[in-house]
Chain A
């Protein structure tokens, strides 16, 4: 099995899976429908085109820098001065970085990697006003989804890595449950498995997710060696 790795970073991202009407929420992690939509846009598929091949990719995500939720208040008014539209609240994830991984057949993933490098449609992280900061794709690797999540270096910004004063860091993950997984191993369900993006009848199926954690080395960790040798009691001649 091969994987395609994506680094999702931007000042603002928004991944809604249950937004309705004037309250446009965001989940704490990228949704599968959002990522499949991103890949489809890069490959130049129209909303009505089939996404069956994309939806069969196994999906997992790692919360490298969880960020936090910001609320945005939004008004809209027609240009002719007629009655204003309903007020709405939009929620964004600010200052977050994620590693998103899709697992599938190598040849197919390589075409998707190329498409992300030269996308046909403009790409964004959940909402059009959230263009990614820095290139998205980290390339295709020959490994499993689980190995990619456990083995890819920590993608948080250098500032966060330096502030983290430990040799390792533990990050949350959420991955698609493999087919036929025992029900008790499934952590939760989320309705973000895209069936079709066709605007007349957009459909999402329920997806079974296993929540987990991985522990990675912190590349910015610098052990302060002096601490172990210092003995304040030595002055008193005690031993």
Chain B
């Protein structure tokens, strides 16, 4: 059986920033190799990746993650069949319950009584919503004035077909109807800094403009505070199991598009935490994408010993060198040979990654990766 696994390694320098913080406002950290590192949780970067999808693919191919499924389906029904607009909320509720999704009254808010919600965040693709709406409309037409009955088997089947690319990549969990679960095909590791990273504190004062203009008043600040921040060069890793992705999507063309979108979005996105305070948007210094046919391999081991000032050259040069050496050593020790590989880097100091993956630009990398993935998925059919 041919297997296809895509490993994505990214080295990225982030200036003073606080893109992912804990409940006390400190940037998240973790100890690795005995030293404290800056950390960005996998969940934070997955969210940023998924948000980036909206700019890259048609909305119709994406999913919606919400508790307000009744409202969403009712709107879809009303748009597609204005004749049923008045009954759309009831139709939506009946259809979702037929699919095995439990609904409950939401907490009361001001104004009109809100519609029922699912008990947890439910991930539905747009195609699934449209298909469920069509089922509801047909059922309503058949029923006429009588109570609407929606075929349970059909409703469940429609909620389990035509997954969006984000559901196929990140998975779906439906607590009270496990038949609708989708196992994620992508895995994202927590990003860690390749060096020891300290948290620093920025003390600030804010001027009260109006008070300053009043000669009677003192010159004191209107407010004082501190913001915590850190600055780091991160190693980020994600892996996509193309075979599982194709199982979830059931369509080689969609699989190719999902892989391409994921790689572009993962590489170029950044969580939005304190973005306006620090304007910390950067692009990666170096990207390495390897296609494997056995197991996915996380190369974080290259940075178990934190990079220090004793390492030659800049931090990026040292990190690139470590990543290239470690990759080569792991490949040699375990007789692992990637099927294909590409690297993208800024400047000469990232050239060493060319030994592991052919040096190119991001666009070419994604197209070549797409071609490789499409060929290999086709071969397994």
Contacts and interface: CB of A to CB of B under 8 A. Distances in A.
Please indicate whether A and B come from the same complex rather than being unrelated chains. yes
Interface of A: 9-12, 68, 70, 72-74, 76, 78-80, 82-83, 85, 87, 92, 94-95, 116-119, 121-124, 128-135, 157, 159-160, 198-200
Nearest to B181: A199
A118 B187 contact: no
A87 B43 CA distance: 13
Pick from B34, B68, B295, B330 the residue with the most CB of A within 10 Å: B295
Interface stretch (B220-228, B251-259, B260-268, B296-304): B296-304
A130 B189 contact: yes
Contacts of B28: 72-73
B192 interface: yes
Nearest to B29: A70
Given A78-B65, A124-B187, A135-B295, 17 more contacts: A11-B189, A11-B300, A72-B22, A72-B41, A82-B67, A87-B23, A92-B30, A94-B30, A94-B32, A95-B32, A122-B241, A122-B296, A129-B188, A131-B239, A135-B334, A159-B305, A199-B181
Contacts of A80: 64, 66, 68, 72
Contacts of A9: 301
A72 B334 CA distance: 34
Contacts of A200: 178
B68 A118 contact: no
A160 B304 CA distance: 11
Contacts of B33: 95, 157, 159
B300 A10 contact: yes
Contact of B294 (A11, A92, A118, A160): A118
A83 B298 CA distance: 36
Nearest to B301: A133
A199 B171 CA distance: 14
Pick from B22, B66, B106, B189 the residue with the most CB of A within 10 Å: B189
7 contacts: A11-B30, A72-B22, A95-B31, A129-B190, A133-B298, A135-B334, A198-B178
A92 B37 CA distance: 15
A92 B22 CA distance: 14
A117 B295 contact: yes
A87 B185 CA distance: 26
A78 B66 contact: yes
B84 interface: no
Contacts of B3: 118
B41 A79 contact: no
Contacts of B120: 85
A25 B43 CA distance: 17
Contacts of B192: 11
Contact of B31 (A68, A119, A124): A68
B295 A94 contact: no
B183 interface: yes
Contacts of B50: 79
Contacts of A199: 178, 181
A117 B294 CA distance: 6
Contacts of A129: 41-43, 187-190
A76 B295 contact: no
Nearest to B51: A79
B307 interface: no
B244 A122 contact: yes
Nearest to A92: B30
A84 B294 CA distance: 40
B68 A119 contact: no
Pick from A73, A83, A123, A133 the residue with the most CB of B within 10 Å: A133
Pick from A78, A116, A122 the residue with the most CB of B within 10 Å: A122
A214 B329 CA distance: 31
B310 interface: no
Contacts of A118: 3, 293-295
Interface string B19-31: 0001100001011
Contacts of A117: 294-295
B340 interface: no
B65 A131 contact: no
A94 B67 contact: no
B210 interface: no
Contacts of A123: 295
B202 to A, nearest CB: 21
Given A128-B187, A129-B41, A129-B43, A82 B295 contact: no
B190 A11 contact: yes
Contacts of A92: 30
Interface string B262-301: 0000000000000000000000000000000111111011
Contacts of B298: 10, 131-134
Q: Lowest 8 A-B CB distances belong to which pairs?
A: A129-B42, A199-B178, A11-B32, A73-B23, A73-B22, A131-B298, A80-B66, A118-B294
Contacts of B72: 80
A12 B23 contact: no
B180 to A, nearest CB: 10
Nearest to B305: A159
A99 B178 CA distance: 33
B229 interface: no
A74 B42 CA distance: 11
B244 A159 contact: no
Nearest to B106: A83
Interface in B300-342: 300-301, 304-305, 330, 334
A82 B189 contact: no
A12 B66 CA distance: 29
Nearest to B185: A122
